[in-house]
């Protein structure tokens, strides 16, 4: 197993990178935030995203493949939930204060160009 320069093996870094790639889409972040309050039917998620059923299904599939959400079928409905509530710890790191600081830095950088 190859180690990176920071003491973490490359496979772990690749896995973390994949998680952040999945989280890098606003629609998938919206789904995760929607699931924060508990399990939801796909039929509730489709109108939330205002996208076609196949597009929503693709977002859900990517979230599930990354291990961020889990699903269960009940008759002809599919219900989704966060696979592990600890994912919200990652999302909550970006609190309003941090977002404001990052936004200000970005604006200063853009204005200096």
Confidence check: pLDDT of 16 > 60: yes
CATH entry, 10-83, from 1.10.10.10, 3.30.230.10, 1.10.274.10, 1.20.120.420: 1.10.10.10
What residue spans of the chain are helical by DSSP H?
Answer: 10-23, 26-34, 42-49, 53-65, 87-92, 96-111
| pLDDT, tens digit, 9 for 90 and up, residues 70-103 | 999 999 999 999 999 999 998 998 888 888 998 9
Give the orientation angle of helix 26-34 with respect to helix 53-65, to 10 degrees.
Answer: 80
């Amino acid at each position: 197993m190859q180690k990176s320069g920071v003491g973490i093996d490359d496979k772990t870094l690749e896995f973390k990178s994949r998680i952040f790639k999945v989280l890098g889409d606003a629609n998938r972040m919206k789904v995760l935030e929607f699931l924060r309050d508990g399990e939801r039917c796909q039929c509730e998620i489709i109108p939330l995203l205002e996208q076609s059923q196949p597009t929503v299904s693709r977002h859900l599939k990517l979230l599930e493949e990354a291990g961020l959400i889990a699903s269960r079928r009940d008759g002809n409905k599919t219900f989704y939930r966060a696979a592990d509530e600890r994912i919200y710890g990652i999302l909550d790191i970006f609190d309003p204060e941090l977002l404001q600081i990052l936004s200000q830095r970005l604006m200063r950088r853009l204005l200096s160009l």
